[in-house]
């Protein structure tokens, strides 16, 4: 199939969350038929509720700075599904994406016809297998692998990692992972493998006991000094015993202190020298997550799609822009708790522009307005129309485009 046809087929498999089929039998059988490409190179496996994408991005950047040819598997994408499969941080070509799809689809159909699997692999399982297949073909030397949902039964959990990383765990996807923090943490902890080291990001104290490993490095045991928080990142020193790591993080938000420390400690455990860790993290990029995309006026993109992410964005605004006029473009999916997200963000918005992504799951703008009224709100049915409204923003205003990664994905190319 050509690229548009392969993408259309993937979409036909259904929404990757709503049609998820947790379990590893299907993906293992598929990968076995492909010659187990998941074992072709060393893997750093990263799970968590918040920050796992940015931690992955910083680890990948550090490994690339150290001279490794890297693979990077992440989800979801902002604009094109090719973004999910990266080699040296560059999305694979549309031709390679469709070529990998053809191979995985062919093998899947063959296994299905033989009764070796119960159904065609899901959207996420298919793309995961495509990633492993392309990474092996490209002979990447180190792979940074982000969990899709949960950990224990996620399709990525078929690897034997040289390092597992658990970023902060919070309530999300309770219908799949459990209703309590402890239950969700147990699912995330499912990526921990016997005899393999683990880096534990900052966690709620009541769930730390869930994460058990022979070699566990808790970033909370590192001491931070000389911390500088900026509107476009942070700088600090982290020390433990005789180790000193200096970190220049280019990702905005106070929460990135903990995330960048998890990445720095991970790179240190992987044998990367401290100066390379510093320069590698300083070059990291993570689009659509408190991304400063314009400076006059300041425009940030942030897919704050759950309560904890919205709370972090609110804290960032309160810390840096308490006395500035805040314009906010907001759109959200129907399956999110819009009231919790809006209760954090809407009170700090001077002007609110409600919109919706070109996505079936998008919540109608008037429904958002009725759920959480705002004294100065306007409705734009398309993201492009909402972006055009920013021409009226005063030069000292700060603009946030948020609520959904789908909204951010549509806005980003219009602002670049």
State the pLDDT at residue 277: 98
pLDDT of 254 > 70? The answer is yes
State the pLDDT at residue 17: 60
Domain match, 89 and 204 both: yes
Domain match, 141 and 278 both: yes
pLDDT of 171 > 90? The answer is no
Q: In which region does residue 391 sit, left (phi positive, over 0), alpha (psi from -120 to 50) or beta (all else)?
A: alpha
pLDDT tens profile 106-158: 999 999 999 999 989 999 999 999 999 999 999 999 999 999 989 999 999 99
Domain match, 193 and 118 both: yes
pLDDT tens profile 347-357: 999 999 999 99
Mean residue pLDDT across the chain: 94
Query: Who contacts 209 (Cβ-Cβ below 8 Å, separation ≥6)?
Result: none
pLDDT tens profile 175-199: 778 889 999 999 999 999 999 999 9
Closest CA to 158 of 38, 50, 55: 38
**What percent of the chain is predicted at pLDDT more than 70?**
98
pLDDT of 387 > 80? The answer is yes
State the pLDDT at residue 296: 87
Domain match, 100 and 207 both: yes
Please report, in angstroms and rounded to a whole number, the separation of the first and last CA atoms in the chain.
31
Q: What is the CATH number of the domain that holds 352?
A: 3.90.190.20
Count how many domains the chain has.
Answer: 2
DSSP 287: T
Domain match, 278 and 359 both: no
Domain boundary residue among 256, 282, 308?
A: 282
State the pLDDT at residue 20: 63
The DSSP H or E segment spanning 318 is helix 307-320
Domain match, 350 and 245 both: no
State the pLDDT at residue 22: 74
CB atoms within 10 A of CB 414: 12
Q: What is the CATH number of the domain that holds 58?
A: 3.40.1190.10
Domain boundary residue among 282, 313, 345?
A: 282
pLDDT tens profile 64-90: 999 999 999 999 899 899 999 999 999
State the pLDDT at residue 14: 75
Domain match, 96 and 190 both: yes
Do 385 and 355 meet the contact criterion of CB atoms below 8 Å apart? yes
Domain match, 312 and 267 both: no
Cα–Cα distances (Å) from 85 to 76, 112, 115, 177, in that order, read 11, 25, 29, 25
CA 93-99-101 angle, to 5 degrees, is 105
Rounded average pLDDT over 357-382: 91
Cα–Cα distances (Å) from 224 to 78, 123, 190, 205, 239, in that order, read 33, 41, 29, 19, 7
Domain boundary residue among 232, 262, 282?
A: 282
State the pLDDT at residue 172: 73
pLDDT of 342 > 70? The answer is yes
State the pLDDT at residue 242: 93
Domain match, 263 and 397 both: no
Domain match, 389 and 259 both: no
287: pLDDT confidence band, cut at 50, 70 and 90? Answer: very high
Rounded average pLDDT over 296-308: 90
State the pLDDT at residue 178: 81
Rounded average pLDDT over 377-401: 95
Q: How does strand 233-240 pair with strand 223-230? A: antiparallel
Domain match, 61 and 121 both: yes
303: tokens are: 């897919």
Per the structure, the complete domain to which residue 354 belongs is given by 291-415
Domain match, 221 and 304 both: no
pLDDT tens profile 6-29: 999 998 887 666 556 677 999 999
pLDDT of 240 > 60? The answer is yes
131: tokens are: 């990633």
């Amino acid at each position: 199939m050509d690229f548009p046809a392969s993408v259309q087929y993937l979409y036909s498999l259904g929404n990757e969350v709503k049609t998820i089929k947790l379990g590893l039998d299907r993906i293992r059988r598929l990968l076995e038929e492909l010659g187990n490409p998941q074992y072709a190179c060393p893997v750093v496996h990263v799970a968590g509720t918040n920050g796992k994408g940015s931690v992955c991005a910083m680890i990948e950047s550090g490994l690339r700075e150290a001279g490794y040819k890297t693979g990077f598997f992440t989800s979801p994408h902002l604009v094109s599904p090719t973004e999910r499969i990266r080699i040296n941080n560059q999305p694979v070509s549309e031709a390679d994406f469709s070529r990998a799809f053809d191979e995985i689809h062919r093998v899947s159909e063959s296994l299905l016809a033989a009764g070796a699997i119960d159904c065609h692999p899901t959207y996420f399982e298919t793309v995961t297998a495509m990633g492993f297949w392309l990474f092996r073909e490209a002979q990447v030397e180190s792979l940074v692998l982000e969990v899709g949902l949960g950990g224990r039964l996620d399709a990525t959990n078929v690897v034997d990692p040289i390092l597992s990383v658990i970023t902060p765990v919070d309530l999300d996807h309770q219908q799949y992972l459990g209703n309590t923090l402890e239950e969700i943490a147990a699912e995330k902890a499912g990526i921990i493998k016997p005899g393999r080291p683990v880096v534990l990001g900052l966690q709620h104290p009541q769930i730390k006991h869930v994460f058990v490993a022979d070699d566990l490095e808790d970033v909370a045991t590192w001491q931070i000094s000389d911390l500088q928080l900026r509107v476009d990142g942070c700088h600090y020193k982290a020390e433990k015993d005789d180790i000193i790591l200096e970190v220049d993080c280019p990702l905005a938000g106070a929460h990135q202190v903990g995330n960048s420390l998890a990445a720095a400690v991970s790179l240190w455990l992987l044998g990367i020298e401290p100066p390379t860790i510093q320069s590698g993290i300083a070059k990291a990029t993570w689009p659509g997550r408190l991304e400063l995309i314009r400076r006059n006026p300041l425009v940030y993109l942030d897919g704050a799609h759950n309560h904890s992410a919205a709370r972090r964005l609110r804290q960032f605004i309160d810390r840096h822009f308490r006395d500035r006029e805040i314009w906010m473009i907001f759109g959200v999916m129907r399956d999110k708790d819009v009231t919790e997200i809006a209760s954090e963000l809407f009170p700090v918005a001077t002007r609110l522009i409600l919109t919706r992504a070109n996505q079936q799951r998008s919540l109608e703008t008037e429904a958002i307005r009725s759920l959480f009224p705002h004294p100065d709100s306007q409705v734009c049915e398309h993201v492009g129309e909402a972006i055009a409204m920013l021409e009226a923003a005063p030069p000292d205003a700060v603009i946030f485009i948020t609520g959904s990664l789908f909204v951010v994905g549509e806005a980003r190319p219009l602002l670049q």
